[in-house]
Structure formats: structure tokens, C-alpha cells
């Protein structure tokens, strides 16, 4: 019998069939195990148990490095198990873990490339430069598919891009803002590049679009994240420690300021930005409630890199659960995208109307 441990975990059925075929091959081949029939095979994560209808003469094992395989020639086994009827049945147990062949979860890893300093800025939609700019970030992309639906293989990176385009079109129809997308196709962007693009464009609002996912269960509903208080303090310290502090806050050159002064200024600016982000998150929840399903605790706070621009209100919008078939069908439908886009458009209009009134 030959077992290949280079195959991924789903090869369990292959191992089961191979065992039976190999053993039957021994039976027909005329070895000392000829008179033995396979009574059953049980396969678990780390072992294979083969039951025979009678005693076998002997069994030997051989580990082969190239290719990675182990072979076992069955010539007999000692009876060890006692069935429900009290009859003793001979078993042969192959312990894969002792052979270094325990099945492992299939994983693919790839190094994340560094941010591109000369990354071209995306197109800005809208002709009136006096209008505030909203940057929509379609999460994931390129080599990073994001969450994947186990039901139909739907990829988060595709769903978020379609939603981002729908939001762009809805905002442009209002005529009250300009819009840019961090990506308009299937490309990979480092997290810092995403909000970095928005800062370089001097955006007034940054919205990152994502889809939630859980391993099991039927969790559903949209939610929104803003930067947490603790993350703000840590990020401020890092920013203040940089040698080149020029223009770290839009319109304010901190290049010649002492470290403690620049740290305080950055912290104050980011706290104000966090308040603006939280206010917009609450607005989005209010406007989205009649249009799309929301989680009970819609507004959450987390230390997310994509939200760490110190001088630009930013949110991460989890539009629904791609792991939930009902949610996935909604957020990736034309009607679902329309409702999500309308929710964002309403919140954006109120947000900038309030800012205009305050000035």
C-alpha cells in the first residue's frame, strides 16, 4: 500500500480508496495475506484503521523521502479489537502523525510588497474643485481576494469594487461632492497606500468598503468601524517620532516643531478627526437603517491601519456578511448596491451640510 502525504486534506477519500485497492491487490497477488479480506476502513485526521476478516501474517512499513510517501506491505496482523458481538477482529492502524504525515490545513503565503512612493493618483470625478472630495476605497484586490463565500466562491474583492462604483455613481448624481476610487480594477494596494492616496488628494472624507465574514453561523447585517482612542494615542506617538514631520497635518508644517509640541498637535488633530468620523458613522447608521439590514451594535471602534490618517475623517463600512448566503445575495445584487449607495449618499449630504452650517 502506498500513501501520499503531500496531498491536501480533502484527499481523505483518495486515501480510503487507495487503501482498499492496495489491500485487494495484495489479496489477488498471492502474498501471505491472500486469504484475508478487508472488512472496513476508518480514516481520521491522524490515522487510518483497516479491519480484516481474519488474522494476517505480518506487516512492514517503508518511508520514502522522494517523493514523500510511505508504503506498507500487509502480510498479517494480531487481533486486537472486540466488536459488539464479542468476536475479536484483527486491525492494522497506520499512525500518520508518527510518520510526519498528519494532514495539515492548506495554506498559501506571499510577502506583502512595500508601498509604492510614486503610485499614480486616481482619477477625480467631478469638475467643481470647490466641492469636497470623498474617496471610496474598495477593500482587498489583486492577490488578496478577501473573504470568500463557501457557498458559491464569491470573493470580497469583487463585491467591494462593485459597491464602490455604485457609491461613486450615486454621489456624483447628487452633484454635491467630487469622488475618487482608490482602485477601479482588480489590483493590490498596501493598506497605507489606501488612505495615503486620499491624503495626497486632500480628501475631506474616506470610506473603505468591506464585507464581513465568520467561519460558521449565520451572523448578518452591516456595521461600521472608526478608529479607537488607544490606537490614536499610539499612532500619534509614532507620527511625532518621525524625522520628517513636514505636512503631517494638512496645512500645518511641523518640521521645525519640538517633538513634544508636534505630538500634542497631532494628537489634538486626530482626536478631532476621530470625533468627526464617529459623527459620520452615526449618520450612516441613521440613514441606512430603513434601507439595509444592520447589526444591533452598528458602530464599532477598532485599531485598523486603513483608518489611521490623522487629519481626515475615515470609516470602514462592513456592508454585510459574505459568509451568510442571504447577506451575500443582497450586497452583490443591483438592488442591494443601490440601497447601500443611497445610504452613503444621504449620510454624506448631511455630513457636509452640517460642516457648511458650522462654518
Residue 292: what pLDDT?
97
Q: What is the largest CA-CA distance in the chain?
A: 94
Residue 347: what pLDDT?
98
User: Cα–chain-centroid distance for residue 16?
Assistant: 33
Superfamily for domain range 124-358: Zn-dependent exopeptidases (3.40.630.40)
Residue 293: what pLDDT?
96
Of 85, 170, 61, which is closest to residue 125 (Cα–Cα)? 170
pTM (2 decimals)?
Answer: 0.64
Residue 70: what pLDDT?
57
DSSP H or E run through 225: strand 222-227
Pairing state between β 205-212 and 178-181: unpaired
How far apart CA 213 and CA 193 sit, in angstroms, is: 24
Segment-wise mean pLDDT, segments of 10 residues, the chain, 359 residues: 39 42 42 54 69 65 55 54 48 58 52 66 92 96 91 94 98 96 94 91 96 84 84 43 40 52 65 91 96 94 83 94 95 98 98 89
Q: Are 191 and 306 in contact (CB under 8 A)?
A: yes
Residue range(s) of every CATH 3.40.630.40 domain in the chain? 124-358
How far apart CA 300 and CA 225 sit, in angstroms, is: 5
Residue 339: what pLDDT?
98
Residue 338: what pLDDT?
98
User: Cα–chain-centroid distance for residue 322?
Assistant: 10
Q: Are 85 and 121 in contact (CB under 8 A)?
A: no
Amino acid at each position: 500500500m502506498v500513501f501520499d502525504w503531500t496531498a491536501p486534506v480533502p484527499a481523505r477519500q483518495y486515501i480510503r480508496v487507495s487503501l482498499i485497492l492496495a489491500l485487494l491487490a495484495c489479496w489477488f497477488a498471492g502474498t501471505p495475506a491472500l486469504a484475508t479480506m478487508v472488512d472496513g476502513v476508518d480514516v481520521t485526521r491522524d490515522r487510518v484503521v483497516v479491519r480484516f476478516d481474519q488474522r494476517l501474517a505480518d506487516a512492514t512499513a517503508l518511508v520514502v523521502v522522494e517523493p514523500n510517501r510511505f508504503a506498507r506491505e500487509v502480510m498479517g496482523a494480531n487481533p486486537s479489537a472486540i466488536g459488539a458481538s464479542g468476536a475479536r477482529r484483527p486491525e492494522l492502524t497506520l499512525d500518520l502523525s508518527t510518520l510526519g504525515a498528519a494532514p495539515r490545513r492548506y495554506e498559501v503565503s506571499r510577502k506583502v510588497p512595500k508601498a509604492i512612493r510614486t503610485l499614480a493618483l486616481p482619477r477625480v470625478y467631478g469638475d467643481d474643485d470647490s466641492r469636497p472630495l470623498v474617496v471610496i476605497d474598495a477593500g482587498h484586490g489583486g492577490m488578496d481576494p478577501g473573504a470568500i463565500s463557501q457557498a458559491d466562491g464569491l470573493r470580497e474583492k469583487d463585491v467591494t469594487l462593485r459597491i464602490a462604483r455604485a457609491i461613486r455613481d450615486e454621489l456624483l448624481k447628487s452633484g454635491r461632492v467630487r469622488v475618487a476610487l482608490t482602485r477601479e480594477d482588480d489590483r493590490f494596494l498596501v493598506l497605507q497606500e489606501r488612505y495615503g492616496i486620499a491624503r495626497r488628494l486632500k480628501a475631506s472624507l474616506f470610506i473603505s468598503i468591506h464585507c464581513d465574514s465568520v467561519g460558521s453561523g449565520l451572523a448578518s447585517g452591516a456595521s461600521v468601524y472608526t478608529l479607537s482612542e488607544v490606537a490614536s494615542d499610539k499612532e500619534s506617538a509614532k507620527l511625532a517620532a518621525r524625522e520628517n514631520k513636514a505636512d503631517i497635518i494638512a496645512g500645518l508644517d511641523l518640521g521645525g516643531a519640538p517633538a513634544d509640541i508636534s505630538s500634542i498637535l497631532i494628537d489634538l488633530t486626530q482626536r478631532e478627526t476621530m470625533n468627526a468620523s464617529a459623527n459620520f458613522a452615526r449618520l450612516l447608521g441613521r440613514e441606512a437603517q430603513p434601507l439595509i439590514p444592520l447589526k444591533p451594535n452598528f458602530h464599532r471602534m477598532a485599531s485598523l491601519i486603513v483608518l489611521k490618517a490623522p487629519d481626515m475623517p475615515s470609516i470602514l463600512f462592513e456592508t454585510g456578511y459574505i459568509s451568510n448566503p442571504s447577506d451575500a445575495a443582497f450586497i452583490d445584487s443591483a438592488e442591494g448596491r443601490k440601497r447601500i449607495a443611497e445610504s452613503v449618499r444621504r449620510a454624506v449630504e448631511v455630513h457636509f451640510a452640517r460642516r457648511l452650517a458650522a462654518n
